[in-house]
Amino acid sequence: MPTLIPILGDQLSFHLASLADADRADSILLMMEVAEEAGYVRHHKAKIALILSAMRHHAAALRAAGWQVDYIRLDDPENSGSFTGEVARAIARHSPDRIIITEPGEWRLLAAIEAWETLFGIPVSIREDSRFIASHALFNAWADDGRKQLRMEYFYRLMRRETGLLMEGDQPAGGQWNFDAENRRPAREAPVPPAQPRHEPDAVTREVLTLVATRFAEHPGSIDHFAFAVTREQAEAQMLWFLNHALPGFGDWQDAMLTGEPFLWHSLLSPALNIGLIDPLELCRAVESAWRAGRVPINAAEGFIRQIIGWREYVRGIYWREGPHYVERNHLHARRPLPDFYWTGATDLNCLGQALRQTLDHGYAHHIQRLMITGNFALIAGIDPHALHQWYLAIYVDAFEWVEAPNTIGMSQFADGGLLGSKPYAAGGAYVNRMSDYCRDCRYDVKQRTGPQACPLNALYWDFLVRNRETIGGNPRLAMPYRSWDRFDGATQNKIRNSASAFLAKLEGSP
């Protein structure tokens, strides 16, 4: 009797733990396009298209490599609509004697898979996902090692030692672990960014795009610009393009934001990494080689490698360590509903409008747009972090809960009380003005704090600090802004708070 090996939509790699010792002649690889996964949040159309197209291409590649693939299409009339329903049907078709699966990237799916053994009466082995550098055991051993705080920087140093990346013996290459101080130059100094490659849709992708346009017409976002890498070859081409054209400027312009330039010096590799088309270590080794060959500066190579072996691995460790209720945390008791303009881009705050419309067009925004534009606004306006989490999960093509939730709930909204950051990432208009050109074309004046022309972020920022003083007022890293607030006279304080209240009242009444 064969072994049934379900392969999920973000497991599109030949090097899966569940395939490590599998016999091609005696294994059925089950790939399932199911409505439940496409619809449990209102995913951006481009995200659904990316995953379905990449799955179909990967199934063809597996078959070409001699694997037997049982592929269930979304439009199959017998399709039950769920993984569990499809595994039940596959068991009836193939009578396997066991199921082997690589662990999923979400607590919700893990719970469903853990129920299969009882439900189906055959052994189910769930293997740890070996595509990550830090195993669960390694992360937990680090986290349990008598630490008061789980700071990413220290975890990152462990990862550098574990992988040997950018190391000279046991010392960091270039004499420093972190070159961030040399990064983050403001947008106004930026040269013209390199043009991103397009991966033109082939017949498989075009068929998927038609399916998505009809079946998911109500979902947000556009697929008109769809050009993501959907095969291993395209992902490799994207990686090579990045190494040669964007990586040299990655460190310098990592935080810059420019009108009409959604991608700048970013890699656009998160979708390929997260669905398995590119291996994170392979990518980091290529980046290190580019630096060792003198093709890119150390601040770019180190900055990029830190995002992958530092942040990416670290947020995953936090996600699994904190448990399934992590996504419900709301340390600051923020309760305001998510404004509708997050789904439409229709707002007169130019910074938000730029980031949101670009997100709807492409299913992509770079890190600082997610953290300091859409995230910062939600934080200082007191938006419910769970509603925001569902928005991020739905709207970005690279969003899978293990990576999205800690970034949203933790890093961006401080809803976990500061596991990921020592203070909330809250800012007023001055930050946006320094790092972007958005304020230039905005109907609001970034320099004004109150009044009809004043940038709303300014009053919201102070209001956020005052509203949450009881919870975060004792944070030493916020001592300076609280001191500044206390130095304002009473009339100024009142004006600021009234401005913020008026804006928030209008926001709740907004269509």
Ligand X SMILES: Cc1cc2nc3c(=O)[nH]c(=O)nc-3n(C[C@H](O)[C@H](O)[C@H](O)COP(=O)(O)OP(=O)(O)OC[C@H]3O[C@@H](n4cnc5c(N)ncnc54)[C@H](O)[C@@H]3O)c2cc1C
Q: Which residues bind ligand SF4 (CB under 6 A)?
A: 349-351, 429, 432-433, 438-439, 442, 444, 446, 455-457
Stretch binding ligand X (CB under 6 A), from 186-194, 333-341, 402-410, 477-485 = 402-410
Beta strands in 118-194 (DSSP E): 124-127, 167-168, 171-172
Name which of 120 and 503 has its Cβ closer to ligand SF4.
503
**Nearest-approach distance from CB 478 to ligand SF4, in angstroms:** 21
CA pair distance 372, 388, nearest whole angstrom? 14
d(CA 154, CA 198): 37
Which of 243, 177, 212 minimizes the C-alpha distance to 47? 212
CA torsion sign, 277 to 282 to 287 to 290?
A: negative
- Nearer CB in complex with ligand X: 209/403: 403
Using CB under 6 A as the binding rule, whether residue 435 contacts ligand X is answered as: no
CA distances 155 to 133, 161, 224, 317, Å, are: 12, 10, 40, 10
CB of 500 to ligand SF4, least distance (A): 13
Judged by CB under 6 A, does residue 47 bind ligand X? no
- Which residues, listed in sequence order, are joined to residue 6 by a DSSP beta bridge? 30
**With contact defined as beta carbons under 8 Å apart, do 39 and 79 qualify?**
no
Which of ligand X, ligand SF4, none lies near 432, with the C-beta cut-off 5 to 8 A by kind?
Answer: ligand SF4
Among 18, 376, 408, 458, binds ligand X (CB under 6 A): 408
Minimum CB distance to ligand SF4 smaller for 406 or for 456: 456
Binding status of residue 129 toward ligand X by CB under 6 A? no
455 binding partner (options ligand SF4, ligand X, none; Cβ < 5 to 8 Å by kind): ligand SF4
Using rule CB under 6 A, residue 184 touches ligand X: no
- By CB under 6 A, is residue 370 in contact with ligand X? yes
Task: Give whichever of 414 and 444 is closer to ligand SF4, judged by the CB atom.
Answer: 444
CB of 317 to ligand X, least distance (A): 11
Q: How far is the CB of 268 from ligand SF4 (least distance, A)?
A: 25
Of 79 and 448, CB closest to ligand SF4: 448
Strands (E), 249-400: none
Whole-number minimum distance, CB 114 to ligand SF4, in Å?
A: 46
Would you say the C-alpha torsion 476, 477, 478, 480 has a positive or negative sign?
A: positive
The reply on whether position 232 binds ligand X by CB under 6 A is: no
Long-range contacts at 66-70 (CB < 8 A, ≥ 24 apart): 66/24, 67/24, 67/27, 67/29, 68/24, 68/27, 68/28, 68/29, 69/28, 69/29, 69/30, 69/31, 70/28, 70/29, 70/30, 70/31, 70/94
What angle (nearest 5°) sits at the alpha carbon of residue 394, between those of residues 392 and 398? 75
Instruction: Please tell me the distance from the alpha carbon of residue 103 to that of residue 10, in angstroms, as a whole number.
Output: 11
Residue 330, number of CB atoms within 10 A of its CB: 15
Measure the CA–CA gap between 186 and 436, rounded to whole angstroms.
Answer: 7
Q: Does 366 bind ligand X (CB under 6 A)?
A: yes
The item of ligand SF4, ligand X, none sharing an interface with residue 338, based on CB under 5 to 8 Å by kind, is none
Residue from the set 89, 136, 336, 367 that interacts with ligand X by CB under 6 A? 367
Residue 99: strand, helix, or coil = strand
| Binder among 28, 239, 269, 284 for ligand X (CB under 6 A) | 269
DSSP for 214-239 reads: HHTTTSSS--TT-----SHHHHHHHH
Q: Closest CB to ligand X among 362 and 449?
A: 362
**Residue given tokens 């890119």 in the structure block:** 296
> Is residue 411 at the binding interface for ligand X, with CB under 6 A as the rule?
yes
State in angstroms the smallest separation of the CB of 264 from ligand SF4.
18
Q: Report if residue 390 touches ligand X, rule: CB under 6 A.
A: no
Sign of the C-alpha dihedral, residues 102, 105, 107, 112? negative
User: How many CB atoms are closer than 10 A to CB 1?
Assistant: 10
Structure tokens at 383: 């938006």
Restricting to residues 299-358, name those near ligand X by CB under 6 A.
304, 307-308, 311-312, 315
Per-residue binder mask for ligand X (CB under 6 A), 76-95, x = binder = --------------------
- For the bound state, the minimum distance from the C-beta of residue 398 to ligand X, rounded and expressed in Å, comes to 4
**Residue 504 contact partner, candidates ligand SF4, ligand X, none, CB within 5 to 8 A by sort of partner:** none
- Residue among 160, 266, 329, 362 that touches ligand X (CB under 6 A): 266
Q: List alpha helices for 164-306, DSSP H.
A: 203-215, 232-241, 247-250, 270-275, 280-292, 298-305
- Binding ligand X by CB under 6 A: which of 100, 204, 273, 338? 273
Could you give the C-alpha distances from 161 to 142, 158, 168, 170, 363, in angstroms and in order? 13, 5, 10, 7, 35
- Residue 247: name its binding partner from ligand SF4, ligand X, none (Cβ under 5 to 8 Å by kind): none
Nearer of residues 231 and 412 to ligand X, judged by Cβ? 412
124-127/167-168 β-pairing: unpaired
**Cβ closest to ligand X, residue 17 vs residue 399:** 399
244/510 with CB nearer ligand SF4:
510
| 345 touches 360 (CB < 8 A) | yes
Q: Which parts of this chain interact with ligand X (CB under 6 A)?
A: 266-270, 273-274, 304, 307-308, 311-312, 315, 366-367, 370-371, 375, 392, 396, 398-399, 403-404, 407-408, 411-412
